[in-house]
Amino acid sequence: MASSDSSHGGTQTASEYIQHHLQNLTYGQKADGSWGIAHGAQEASDMGFWAIHLDSMFWSILLGCIFCGLFWLGAKRATAGVPGAIQNFCELMVEFVDQSVRDTFHGENKLIGPLALTIAVWVFLMNLMDLIPVDWLPWAAANMGIEYMKVVPTTDVNVTLGMSLSVFALIIYYSLKVKGGKGFLAELTLQPFSSDNKFIKYAFVPVNLLLEGVGLIAKPISLALRLFGNLYAGELIFILIALLPFYLQWMLSVPWAIFHILVIVLQAFIFMMLTIVYLTMAHEHH
């Protein structure tokens, strides 16, 4: 949400304000060979591939712990009598995810249900951080001497790509486990174009491999970029609203926040459902 603070960091220009709020707290190796936290976007970029976004790591792990603690508490306080709020929430989520899995996945796999539940709740909690006013946590971090603080992990493409690559690894694993190496290779090379004539059939192998290979690789990329793009755009709009005069901030931020709740829920649901669909495809024989 937009900030109620109209100062925006005092002497910062609008451009500097936007760049500051979109910059991650990055730790890595500096140009002089020392390790430390980057002071600015260019220094963070120069740290290269092995740099770590500390804020994204902190908030994603913290929210993951909240998710685990919430469901542990719900299980511990579970009662056959009148359920409490936490138990109601946990049961609602479990039943919803279980029904989604049953409707889509028709094989037998004990991992799919817990994985789908984890994705749905964890991604939802990470997305939900976008509703916190954009200046509050960065301002609190600045008072503790922390220069940058992005609090929405799903606006970091490294986080969304990390989750999607984990799903992709499961897709490859179950494709090989269920279909075998020969079956998985045949799936990539003998469709969509085929023929009863062996010569024509094998002549299509390079074309099929290109098409199916692109489709396979596109799964984790589209999964990551869809979530990242929607949440990053939402965060950017909140930042732009925060640059407006105070009386306009609440006029625009409240309607956008209400609409953004739909985006937050929908993106968590889409990530969960696509994971179920992709793993269902990995279990199917053609």
pLDDT in tens, 22-68: 999 999 999 999 999 999 999 999 999 999 999 999 999 999 999 99
Beta carbons within 8 Å of 239's beta carbon, 6+ residues apart: 17, 18, 21, 22, 134
7-34 average pLDDT score: 86
> Is residue 8 predicted with pLDDT exceeding 50?
no
Specify whether 222 is catalytic: yes
pLDDT for res 11: 72
Catalytic: which of 109, 166, 194, 226? 226
What pTM value is reported for the model?
A: 0.93
Q: In what order do the strands lie in the sheet with 26-29?
A: 35-37, 26-29, 52-53
The secondary structure element, H or E, covering residue 37 is strand 35-37
- Mean pLDDT score of the chain: 93
* Helix 157-189 × helix 54-76 angle, to 10°: 80
> Is residue 9 predicted with pLDDT exceeding 50?
no
Instruction: Work out the burial of residue 73: count CB atoms within 10 Å of its CB; fewer than 13 is exposed, 13-18 middle, 19 or more buried.
Output: middle
Alpha carbon dihedral 199, 204, 209, 214, in 10-degree steps, equals 180
Q: What span, in angstroms and rounded, lies between the C-alpha atoms of 93 and 91?
A: 5
User: How far separated are the first and last CA of the chain, in Å rounded?
Assistant: 47
pLDDT for res 2: 61
Specify whether 226 is catalytic: yes
Catalytic: which of 164, 175, 208, 230? 230
